[in-house]
Structure 1
Amino acid sequence: MSLGSQVMKLKDLVLDLRPKKIWGGETEITHLTDDSREVRPGAAFVAVKGARFDGHQFIPEAVRRGASAVIMEEEGPLPEGVAGALLEDTKHILPLL
């Protein structure tokens, strides 16, 4: 999902979802996607656990493609400079996609 001409800070994007943890919350997000192939610089990648795939396994690819942030259910290491948000269930953010 493109946020259009709007740029949102990570913390503002996930605040209503009551994240367990946020780091780099001031990071600006221009695009939100759960498909690592659609990530471009400025994007937040949402790692969703599905019936066939676990999006957490695509986090490295999303980061390589320029993700500024990762929204996830399972905390894992992220490179320096990549923000993150830990949610109970990332499916709650899907309506925003």
Structure 2
Amino acid sequence: MALTKNETGLIDEMSVVDVFTRLIFDAEAVLDDTEMLVIECLADVDNSLLNAPRRDISEFLRAMGVDEMITVVAKVKRMLDHQQGLIAASMVNQRSRLHR
């Protein structure tokens, strides 16, 4: 599943929710690299999920209340935005070195 990006090119909140929903209903779902990045950011938000099996992550998400889910989605989104910003900056730096 391709994650939706907003007008700035960043992954939007609904895409984060979609990844979480897939894991809630199918812990063994095949995820692409970007979807795996969402899961890595989730583990960064809650350190108890570091190196956790997908089934545990699925149970963690399933047990969340709506307010908690909204908070976690916002935190994951901020982390993704930050990482994408770092990647974009790195690409700009690499291009500028090539043109010297």
**TM-score above 0.5, yes or no:** no
**More helix, by proportion:** 2
**Structure 1 length normalisation: TM-score?**
0.25
**Structure 2 length normalisation: TM-score?**
0.25
**More strand, by proportion:** 1
